[in-house]
Amino acid sequence: MGKTSQQFGSRQVSIREPLPSRERERERANCKYEASGMGMLGRYCVPHGGQQVAPQPQVLPLLTQVQRVNNDLTDKLSRMARRNTIKFRELAALQVHDKNAEALQELQTSIPEITKIFDVHCRIGSGTFSTVLLGTLQRERQLPEAQRRRFAIKHHNPTNHPERILRELECMFRMGGDHNVIGINCCIRYNDNVAFVMPFMSHDRFHDVYRNLSLFEVKDYLRNLLVALRHVHKFNVIHRDVKPSNILYNRRTGKFLLCDFGLAQRLAEDGSLIQASDLSGAAALLRDMDAAQQQLLRHEGNSVQAEDEAAAHRLQADTERRMRAAGGGTTAFGESNNQLQQHPQYPQQQLQEPSKKDLAAQKADTQRLINRLRYTNANVDPNNYVVSTNNIRKEMHASRAGTPGYRPPEVLLRYPHQTTAVDVWAAGVIMLSMLSSLHPFFKAPNDCAALSEIMNLFGDVQVRKTAFMLDRLVLITQKVAALDLRRVCMRFRYANHFLSPEIQRRHRRADGNMELCRHCEQATFNCICKHSSHQLETYEGLDMFPHHAYDLLGRLLEVNPQKRISAEEALKHPFFIEHHRIVSGVPLTHQMPAAAAALRSRESLQGAGSRTLTPYISYPPGVKQLSNMEAGHRPAATSTTNV
Ligand SMILES: Nc1ncnc2c1ncn2[C@@H]1O[C@H](COP(=O)(O)OP(=O)(O)OP(=O)(O)O)[C@@H](O)[C@H]1O
C-alpha cells in the first residue's frame, strides 16, 4: 500500500508514503528490532541476539516522534506533580485551619471562663488525651506582641480519667518549674472539663532535628533530659512516657522542658507502685495549689518564653568564654554526616555521587537490616510469649503504661516491681535514634514483637538471663547473636559511606560477590555482630561521636533493669565531662549555628504556633523535590516535607 518503486541502475529504491497511525503501530510491533541501552531512544537498533546495525531509514522519524512523545510525557508528569503538590498544600492548610477552629470552639464552649481571661490564638499540639492551645492574657492586649506573655493551655479530653488529670497536676505542681520540668500556672475546671495553663515554649520537632544535631547539641539534649529525670526520680516518681514528643526542645535557645506527666506513677517507700485509685492526697494538693495559684500567675507568668532571648545571649557569652579558654583544637560542633568527606583523617574517602541503581541497592540493603532488627517469628503467640518460672505466683499483672517503642524489657516481661529505670531506658532509646539517625528505632506492633526487637539487637542470651532473674521464662524459637551498638549506629548513620560503590568494590571478592556474615547478614568488612570473627574496617576518624557516647548508650540500654545506670550516675559519665574544643580563627557562628540563630528576633505569635505544629506530608520523591523548589528551598534529604 502506498508504495512506489523506481529503478536506479541495478538498485531498486522503495519510497513509502507515510502510514496511517494504526498501521504504524502494527509495523512497530512487527519490527524485529529492539532498542539498545536507552530504550526506544537508542541510536542504534540491535536485532535479537545480533550485532549492532544502523537504523533503517524509516525507523529514524519514528524515533524522533517517540522522543517528542517522551518529552511531552515528562512535561505533563512534572506539571501534574506540581499541581498535586499545590493541592496537597492547600488541603493541609485547610485541615490545619479546620482543626484549629474546631479546637478553639471546643475550648470556648466547654470552659467559657477561659475566654474571659485569655485570648486563645491557635492549636499548638494535640495528643491522645488533650489538645494544647496558645493563649495570651487579655489584660496584656495593649502591650506590644513581643512583650505579651504566652501560655500553653492544655485542654483535657472530657473522657480522661480524673485520676490521670490529678496525677499530672500533682506532678507539675510539686516538681515542675525547675530542673527542666514543665511547671503549671493554673488549673481551670468547669463541670467535667479541665484545662491546665502552663508556660508556653516554642520548640522544634524531633523529626526535624534528630538527623542533623551536632555533637554539642546531642550532649546538651541528653544532659538536659537526664537532669529532668534525676529531678523527677528524686520524688520517687516514674514519668513512664519519656519520648521525643513529650520533650520540648528549642534548638535556637537550647532550652529544654520535660512535659506530659499523664502516665506518671509514684513509688511507695518499699518500692511498690502507689495504686492509681489512691486519691487521698487530692485534698492536700488542692489546698496547696489554692495558696500558690495567685502568686504563680502574678509573678512567674511565662518566664520560659520571655527568657528565650536572655538565654540565647547567655549561651553566646558562655561559648565565647569557652572559646577564649580553649584557645584552639579540633571542633566538636556541627560535624554532621555531610561533613564526612571533609574529615581530615578521611582524605581518601572522596566518594562520588552514587548512581540511581546504587542508591536503590543501598536503600534495599538498609531496609533488609531494618527488617532483620524488627523480625518476629510469625508463629509466636503474641499473648503468650512469656511465662512465670514461679508456679506459685501465677498472676502476671504489671503496669504496661508507656508508648510502644520506648517500653523497657522489664515492662515487656510483665515484671510488677518496676522502678525509675523505666525512664532511663526510654532516654536510651532517644539517644539510640540520635546516634543512628533512625527514628523511630523500635517500631513493634505489640509487646511480643517489641521484645524480639530488643532480642535482635542485644541477643537472646541477655534477654533470657534478665527474664530468668525476674522470674520469667521467655519462649524463643531461634537463637539470635548480639550486635555491636556502635557498628549498628554507624551502619545507619553513615550508610552512604558503607554502601558506596567505591567501598563495596574495595571489599568485593574475585568472583564479584560480597562475602556476608552469616549472623548479621552484613558484608564481612562491616560485620555488626558484637563478637565478630571477621576482619573489620576500622572506623577511626569517621564517626563524630566518641567511644564514650556508645558506652553511655550501652549503660542506658542495659537490658537488666537492676544493672541499668541511674539518671544521676549517667550525668557523671565521661561523655558529659569531656571538654568541647573550639577551632580558633573560625567564626563562632560557623561552629555553632544555634548561637547565631539565637540572636534572631523573637518569633511572632502565629509563627511560634505554626512552628510547633506543622503537619507532615509524605510526597513521592519527584513531587517532594518540586514542592521544595517551589518554596525556594534546597531539596531536603528527608523523606517528609514540611509544608
Ligand atoms: N508548654 C508547652 N509549650 C508548647 N507546646 C506544648 C506545651 N505543652 C505541650 N505542648 C505541645 O502539645 C503536644 C501535646 O502535649 P502533651 O504531650 O502534654 O499531650 P497529651 O495529650 O498527653 O499527648 P500524648 O497523647 O502524646 O501523651 C506536645 O507534643 C507539644 O508539642
The pLDDT of residue 416: 87
Global pTM? 0.69
Strand, helix or coil at 565? Answer: coil
Residue 349 reports pLDDT greater than 60:
no
The pLDDT of residue 612: 52
Q: Which domains does the chain have, with CATH numbers?
A: 95-200 (3.30.200.20), 202-279+399-581 (1.10.510.10)
The pLDDT of residue 340: 40
The pLDDT of residue 89: 79
> What is the rounded distance in angstroms from the CA atom of residue 83 to the CA atom of residue 588?
43
Question: What mean pLDDT do residues 60-89 have?
Answer: 85
- Cα 485 to Cα 333, 352, 390, 432: the distances in Å are 23, 28, 33, 9
Asked if residue 305 has its Cβ within 6 Å of ligand 1, the reply is no
Which of 468, 444, 469, 465 has its CA nearest to residue 454? 444
Atom of ligand 1 nearest to the CA of 262: 22
Q: Which three cell numbers stand for residue 380?
A: 509466636
- 10 Å Cβ neighbour count for 414? 18
Residue 205 CA to ligand 1 center (angstroms) comes to 11
- Cα 535 to Cα 194, 517, 576: the distances in Å are 61, 11, 32
The pLDDT of residue 26: 54
Question: What mean pLDDT do residues 72-81 have?
Answer: 89
> What is the rounded distance in angstroms from the CA atom of residue 278 to the CA atom of residue 96?
39
The pLDDT of residue 14: 41
Residue 154 CA to ligand 1 center (angstroms) comes to 8
Residue 94 CA to ligand 1 center (angstroms) comes to 22
Which of 427, 373, 366 has its CA nearest to residue 553? 427
What is the residue with the minimal CA distance to atom 24 of ligand 1? 127
Phi and psi torsions of 13, nearest 5°: -110, 130
The radius of gyration of the chain's CA atoms, rounded to the nearest angstrom, is 31
| DSSP conformational letter for 243 | S
Residue 350 reports pLDDT greater than 60:
no
Residue 13 reports pLDDT greater than 50:
no
| Catalytic site residue from 208, 220, 241, 551 | 241
AA letter at 200: F
- Beta-carbon contacts of 267 under 8 Å, excluding residues fewer than 6 positions away, are 236, 237, 238, 273, 274, 419, 420
Asked if residue 246 has its Cβ within 6 Å of ligand 1, the reply is yes
Q: Which residue has the higher pLDDT, 119 or 66?
A: 119
Residue 39 reports pLDDT greater than 60:
no
What's the distance, CA 163 to chain centroid? 31
Whether 119 sits among the annotated catalytic residues: the reply is no
What is the residue with the minimal CA distance to atom 26 of ligand 1? 127
Look up the ipTM and state it.
0.96
Pocket probe mutation, ligand 1, options 207, 249, 258, 259, max atoms within 8 Å of Cβ: 259
How do residues 424-445 score in pLDDT, each as one tens digit?
999 999 999 999 999 999 988 8
Residue 628 reports pLDDT greater than 80:
no
Asked if residue 404 has its Cβ within 6 Å of ligand 1, the reply is no
Residue 20 CA to ligand 1 center (angstroms) comes to 67
Asked if residue 128 has its Cβ within 6 Å of ligand 1, the reply is yes
Q: Which of 82-96, 456-470, 604-618 has the highest mean pLDDT?
A: 456-470
Q: Which residue has the higher pLDDT, 606 or 286?
A: 286
71-80, 313-322, 504-513, 567-576: the lowest-pLDDT one: 313-322
The pLDDT of residue 71: 87
> What is the rounded distance in angstroms from the CA atom of residue 112 to the CA atom of residue 107?
7
Confidence of residue 517 (pLDDT cuts 50, 70, 90): confident
Look-up of cell digits 498544600: 89
Asked if residue 152 has its Cβ within 6 Å of ligand 1, the reply is yes
Q: Which three cell numbers stand for residue 126?
A: 494535640
> What is the rounded distance in angstroms from the CA atom of residue 571 to the CA atom of residue 399?
27
Strand pairing class (193-199; 247-250): unpaired
Strand, helix or coil at 190? Answer: strand
- Cα 160 to Cα 129, 155, 194, 401: the distances in Å are 7, 10, 9, 15
Atom of ligand 1 nearest to the CA of 198: 1
The pLDDT of residue 342: 40
Asked if residue 201 has its Cβ within 6 Å of ligand 1, the reply is yes
> What is the rounded distance in angstroms from the CA atom of residue 57 to the CA atom of residue 515?
50
The pLDDT of residue 15: 39
- Cα 116 to Cα 108, 137, 477: the distances in Å are 10, 9, 63
Task: Answer yes or no: are the C-beta atoms of 550 and 486 closer than 8 Å.
Answer: yes
Residue 539 reports pLDDT greater than 50:
yes
- The dihedral built from the CA positions of residue 354, 358, 363 and 365, taken in this order, carries a sign that is negative
Residue 627 reports pLDDT greater than 70:
no
Residue 149 reports pLDDT greater than 60:
yes
Look-up of cell digits 518500692: 271
The pLDDT of residue 41: 34
How do residues 241-288 score in pLDDT, each as one tens digit?
999 999 999 998 999 999 999 999 988 877 777 765 455 566 677 777
The pLDDT of residue 358: 74
> What is the rounded distance in angstroms from the CA atom of residue 251 to the CA atom of residue 217?
8
AA letter at 574: P
The pLDDT of residue 483: 93
Question: What mean pLDDT do residues 535-548 have?
Answer: 81
Q: Which residue has the higher pLDDT, 475 or 330?
A: 475
Question: What mean pLDDT do residues 228-236 have?
Answer: 95
What's the distance, CA 264 to chain centroid? 24
- Beta-carbon contacts of 520 under 8 Å, excluding residues fewer than 6 positions away, are 369, 372, 481, 483, 527, 528, 529
Asked if residue 153 has its Cβ within 6 Å of ligand 1, the reply is no
The pLDDT of residue 62: 78
* Paired residues of 616 in beta bridges: 642
Pocket probe mutation, ligand 1, options 120, 123, 124, max atoms within 8 Å of Cβ: 124
Asked if residue 125 has its Cβ within 6 Å of ligand 1, the reply is yes
Question: What percent of the chain is predicted at pLDDT more than 70?
Answer: 65
- 10 Å Cβ neighbour count for 196? 23
- Cα 579 to Cα 216, 256, 330, 431, 544: the distances in Å are 10, 21, 11, 20, 15
The pLDDT of residue 213: 93
Residue 248 CA to ligand 1 center (angstroms) comes to 8
Query: In 438-456, which positions are buried (b, 16+ CB within 10 angstroms) versus exposed (e)?
Result: bbbbbebeebbbbbbbbbb
What is the residue with the minimal CA distance to atom 20 of ligand 1? 127
- The dihedral built from the CA positions of residue 237, 243, 245 and 250, taken in this order, carries a sign that is positive
- Beta-carbon contacts of 159 under 8 Å, excluding residues fewer than 6 positions away, are none
The pLDDT of residue 609: 58
624 annotated ligand binder: no
| Per-chain mean pLDDT for the chain | 74
Which of 94, 154, 90, 163 has its CA nearest to residue 127? 154
Question: What mean pLDDT do residues 489-499 have?
Answer: 86
Residue 126 reports pLDDT greater than 90:
no
Burial class (CB in 10 A: 0-12, 13-18, 19+), 413: buried
Look-up of cell digits 580563627: 585
Which of 131, 130, 128, 129 has its CA nearest to residue 101? 131
Confidence of residue 383 (pLDDT cuts 50, 70, 90): low
Residue 403 CA to ligand 1 center (angstroms) comes to 14
Atom of ligand 1 nearest to the CA of 132: 12
Residue 302 reports pLDDT greater than 50:
no
Asked if residue 405 has its Cβ within 6 Å of ligand 1, the reply is no
Confidence of residue 64 (pLDDT cuts 50, 70, 90): confident
477-481, 499-503, 621-625: the lowest-pLDDT one: 621-625
Residue 474 CA to ligand 1 center (angstroms) comes to 36
- CA contacts within 13 A on the Cβ side of 120: 28
Asked if residue 200 has its Cβ within 6 Å of ligand 1, the reply is yes
Residue 29 reports pLDDT greater than 80:
no
The gap between the terminal CA atoms of the chain, to the nearest Å, is: 59
Residue 558 reports pLDDT greater than 50:
yes
Question: What mean pLDDT do residues 410-421 have?
Answer: 92
Residue 314 reports pLDDT greater than 70:
no
The pLDDT of residue 603: 57
